[in-house]
Structure 1
Amino acid sequence: MRAIIEAFERHQIMSRQALDSEWVRAGIKNVLLGPAGLYEGLRGGAQ
């Protein structure tokens, strides 16, 4: 149980650090809208 709690806490910390970083957010956006094709995939699914 303790291992699960610790993993959850660490995940929260890393997530907060990523969200607080404009550089990380821009990188995620570039990947999702570029090579990952998220926008195109979602548009295709809506049709």
Structure 2
Amino acid sequence: MAKICPRCGGKIGKLYKCNQCDGTFCPRCEAGMFSKKCPYCGNRARPIRI
């Protein structure tokens, strides 16, 4: 079952959680930023897959 991204509302099979600010986002949100980083706080550490 697809999970709904709380940031963009997209239904995508995988979500990531930032290990710094606990923001939840999908790969589409992450790819929308210029480089791979958290769309909430800008942390570049690898997010946790949930």
Task: Identify the TM-score tier after normalising by the shorter chain.
Answer: under 0.3
Question: Between Structure 1 and Structure 2, which shows a larger proportion of helix residues?
Answer: 1
Name the larger-Rg structure. 1
TM-score (norm: length of structure 1):
0.26
TM-score (norm: length of structure 2):
0.25
Identify which of structures 1 and 2 has the higher relative contact order when contacts are C-alpha pairs closer than 8 Å and 6+ apart.
2
